[in-house]
Amino acid sequence: MARHLRSVPGAPAPVGPYSIAVEANGLVFLSGQGAINPQGGGFTDSIEDQTRQTMDNLRAILGEHGLDFSHVVKASIFLIDMGDFAAMNSIYATYFDSDPPARTTVAVAALPLPEMKVEIDMVAAR
């Protein structure tokens, strides 16, 4: 089992005591990512920009494992406001050429950082 305990180039460092990704039995479990800019922190205000940055962070982690979004079999999306669903969904869809993964989207009361509007975790298969 391989663990990534430090930041991956192009993705932000963990904000707590967890691995960015853990690989086991041909599956790669990516911890939830938000829109933290790995080159300088901070958040943009729009859900579109936050979704784009979140997906770019996830792409960097997948790439570190030699994977891309075509390997993703499951995604979970956490939104502060379900009113952002359509805007988030329009950006999220652009990251999957065809056959998007299974997905759950739920509204939550809060996310780990107060500026976060969206968090996404994924499971990918080799």
All structural domains of the chain: 2-125 (3.30.1330.40)
Residue 7 has pLDDT above 70, yes or no: no
Tell me, yes or no, if the pTM score tops 0.75. yes
Out of 28-32, 34-38, 66-70, least confident range: 34-38
Tokens of 76: 């979970």
**pLDDT class of 60 with cuts at 50, 70, 90:** very high
- Computed on alpha carbons and rounded to an integer, the radius of gyration of the chain in Å comes to 14
Q: Which residues contact 89 (CB under 8 A, 6 or more apart)?
A: none
The pLDDT value given to residue 5 = 47
Alpha helices, H only, 29-110: 47-64, 85-93
